[in-house]
Amino acid sequence: MPSDETGPRERRTELLIGVDIGGTKTACILGDAEGNTVDKISFATDHRGGPAAVLKRVCAEVTKLQEGRQVQAVGVSCGGPLDSAAGVVLGPPNLPGWDSVPVVRVLAESCGLPTRLENDANAGALAEWRFGAGRGCRNMIFITAGTGLGCGLIVDGRLYGGTNDMAGEAGHIRLAPLGPRGYGKSGSFEGFCSGGGIGRLAGMMLRDADRRGRQSCLFAPWLEEPLTAKAVAEAAHAGDALACEILHCAGSRLGEGLSVLIDVLNPEVIVLGSLAVRLGERYLGPAREVIGREALVRSAAVCRVVPAELGERAGEVAALCVALEAAAGG
C-alpha cells in the first residue's frame, strides 16, 4: 500500500474544519464527514481586540489545521443575528462590537476553501439531525436553551432559514401577557424557558411566596444575587417544594410553546438541548403533559420530544456540520 502521511483516518473520508465562535471561547476543529474530531484548537475569545483580533487568530489556527491535509471546506457556527447567505455576523449580544463582520469573506480569502456561516441554533439542528437524536427523520425542531432560547428547523430534509434568515426565532413567541422577560418581551417563550428566564421566573415566584409566608431554601441565595436555573434545579433535587413548582411552571410553559410549533410545523421529532438535558423529567414531564392537552391530537401522536444526544461534543459537531453544508455547496 502506498505511504500516506495523513494517516489511516484521513484516507478514509474527507476532512473538514469547523469554527465555533462563542462569547467566552472559540474553537477550531478538524474533523471528518462522520462528525468525528481529529484535532482541535481552543482559545479565549478576545473581546479587547474586537472581531479583527479573533478572526486573525482563527485564520492562523485554521491554516495550522490545513497543513499537509486535504481539507474540503470550513464551517462557522456563531450566535445570531447574522446573515448566512452574505456570510456576515450582525451584532450578537455575546460578541460586543461584532457589527456587520464579513466572517466568511475573511476566512475564505485566508484559507482558500468553501466557507459557510450559520447561527449556532441552526448548526445545532444540523448536528442532532445528522448524528444525534434526529437521525433518520425529515422534519425536526431543535431547541437549545441557555442564557437565551434558540431554535433550528429541519423541514423536508433540509435546514430551513426562511426568507431572510429569521426562521426559528421561537423564543420571541409570547406565551402570556405577563411573565419573565426574554427576547425583549415579557411572558415570552424565552422568558419562561431559557436558563436566564427560569432564574427570573424563580424571582417572581419567590416574591409571591414571601408575601404568602412560604419557606424555601432559595430565599437565602436569592437575597445575595439573581437566581440561576442551576440553583433552582439543585433545590428541587433536594426536595424543596417551591423549587419543584418553579420547574413545573417552566416545564408547562415549555409544553405550551412546543404545542404551537407542533401545530404549525407537524414535526417528527423535537430535540431539546442543553438546559432540558440537565433538568430532566422535572422539566420535560410537565411539558409532555401540556402537549397532550394543547397540541392537535394527530400532530402530537407522530411527534417525539426527546433530549439531545451529542452532549459536550455538540458545538464541535455543529461546526463540522456547517462545513459539510459548505462542501456540498449549500
Cell readout for 216 is: 424555601
Domains of the chain from N-terminus onward: 7-119+313-327 (3.30.420.40), 133-309 (3.30.420.40)
Question: Would you give the DSSP letter of residue 312?
Answer: G
Q: What is the mean pLDDT of residues 278-307?
A: 94
- Across the chain, mean pLDDT equals 91
Identify whether 81 is preceded by a cis peptide bond (ω within 30 of 0): yes
pLDDT tens digits, residue range 300-311? 999 999 999 998
Q: Dump pLDDT digits (tens) for 33-84.
A: 999 999 999 999 988 889 999 999 999 999 999 999 999 999 999 988 899 9
Q: What are phi and psi of 170, to 5 degrees?
A: -65, -25
Q: Closest Cα partner for 205 from 241, 236, 246, 173?
A: 246
DSSP line for 248-296: HHHHHHHHHHHHHHHHHH--SEEEEEEHHHHHTHHHHHHHHHHHHHHS-
Residue with more model confidence, 158 or 222: 158
Entry pTM = 0.89
- For residue 312, what pLDDT is reported? 84
Question: pLDDT tens across 174-231, in order?
Answer: 999 999 999 889 999 999 999 999 999 999 999 999 899 999 999 988 877 888 999 9
Tens of pLDDT along 255-278?
999 999 999 999 999 999 888 888
